[in-house]
Chains A and B, each alone.
Chain A
Amino acid sequence: MSVGNSFSQDRQFFSGFFPEAAITKKLKNDQKIIFKIEHQDIFYNNSADESKEWQFTHYRTDLMSFFDVKLKPSKSIAFGVFHRIQEGANSNRVIQQFASVNRLRGMKLAHRLRTDQTFTKGESMEVRFRYRIATEIPLSGSTLDPGEHYLVLSNEPIFSFQGGEFEIENRLVFSLGKLINSSQKLEWSIDYRTDKFIQEGFRTRLWAKVGYFYSF
């Protein structure tokens, strides 16, 4: 029995590759439609058989779409639908969101409040409350201009209720981005997720992310 194995019994860790892409179509009256795809492949899982710790396994692919309406220049609400493709755990979700993005001196500061309800076959509905704070800091000059890089730091605690059980998850993301032109952004991120703080099986997931954002 290796140390790694006994460790894995109570602390699951897995890591992998996580590309995501979002396309935004601007509509009249400050409305927008957003399509987003997120895809996760596992490269390493400490809870697998020792010989299979290193792997290349499809974990999940999420497809989602949002309708976003601006309330004020810096505040908006959005409603979304979401479908998850995951072996044995396909699910559907509806999402409600309030967000604000403030342009401050030399940075953007965004707050996002979300509630969502997830429906998975054979399970009771999961309800979550989430709050994400994110800041975007240009790396050259005090404004972000085309061709320049920026940093994004974000953290999001998630509170979940399902079948009478309560759970907490946290997501910390550090990104290096590039504003390709006024409508496209590219980001390379490290996404560190911890969950099962309350129930058994504390778990950490570390993702190498590449994100592409296009808005027209």
Chain B
Amino acid sequence: MIKIVLRLISLLLFFGMINLSAFAQDKIERELRIKETEVPKEAKDWLNDAFETIKKPKWYQELFESGYSYEAKFKLKGKFYSVEFDSLGNIQDVEIEISVEELPNEVQTGLNKLLSADYKNSDIKRIQIQYSGEPDDLEDFFDENSLEGILTRYEIEFIGLDEAGDSKLWEGLFSDKGELIRKRKIVLTPSENLIF
């Protein structure tokens, strides 16, 4: 008897699982790897003008509820770059990964203030310096080091354990004076499949 029940459970699990793939999905926000040929010419041209020495960037399309954008990722002189363009290929911003030590003092102070006020415990996962501005200004910044028209901000990913005892991954955007401009939660995918 017990064997029959177990066998039934096994079959139910099997067919039940297949049906589960048809379940409703969360809000769609995806990043897809795409071929260079699918990228608007404007974006490729801007990248070539601003960074003449990069070899082959990896291109991604980011899909949001309201539309999509393009992103190029590459490594240059030991640093990780990600360059974002809108759906027409116009440059939006350039982000470069840096270490905590490279953060200006004012930003470090602002970050520490936020972390100690809102969280019992925290861990910084990733810091990016973000440059935005008009396409020509951004291009001049990268090939001539001209700061004119450039807005510098810092995007910081951290895990924070709040007073309620929940730990979440956050992305905070800070001004170059260390003020928090906005904060959004990053949805983490479960990892139980890897450790149980």
Contacts and interface: CB of A to CB of B under 8 A. Distances in A.
A and B interact physically = yes
A150 B195 CA distance: 16
A142 B193 contact: no
A28 interface: yes
B164 interface: yes
B31 A145 contact: yes
A184 interface: yes
Q: Determine chain B's interface SS by DSSP, over half rule.
A: mixed
Contacts of A73: 123, 159, 161, 167
A62 B141 CA distance: 61
A180 interface: yes
Interface string B29-66: 11111000000000000000000000000101000000
Contacts of B190: 24, 182-183, 185, 213, 215
A105 B126 CA distance: 11
Contact of A141 (B30, B123, B191): B30
A110 B191 contact: yes
Interface string B12-42: 0110111011011111111111000000000
B63 to A, nearest CB: 9
A141 B194 contact: no
Contacts of B9: 39, 61
Indicate the size class of the contact surface on chain A.
35 or more
A206 interface: no
B187 interface: yes
A108 interface: yes
Interface in B113-130: 123, 125
Contacts of A30: 161, 165-167
A184 B192 CA distance: 10
Given A85-B6, A142-B31, A186 B167 contact: no
B189 interface: yes
A72 to B, nearest CB: 7
B28 A58 contact: no
A141 B33 contact: yes
A149 B195 CA distance: 19
Max chain A Cβ within 10 angstroms of own Cβ: one of B6, B165, B166: B6
B10 A19 contact: yes
Interface string B76-95: 00001000000000000000
A40 to B, nearest CB: 9
Contacts of A36: 196
Max chain B Cβ within 10 angstroms of own Cβ: one of A34, A73, A154: A73
B189 A28 contact: no
B26 A182 contact: yes
Contacts of B25: 146-147, 180-181
B7 interface: yes
A179 interface: yes
Interface of A: 17, 19, 21-22, 24, 28-30, 34, 36, 39, 41, 56, 58, 61, 66, 70, 72-73, 76, 78, 85, 97, 99, 101, 103, 105, 108, 110, 112, 134, 136, 140-148, 152, 154, 175, 177-187, 210-213, 215
Given A142-B73, A145-B31, 4 more contacts: A143-B31, A147-B28, A148-B30, A152-B194
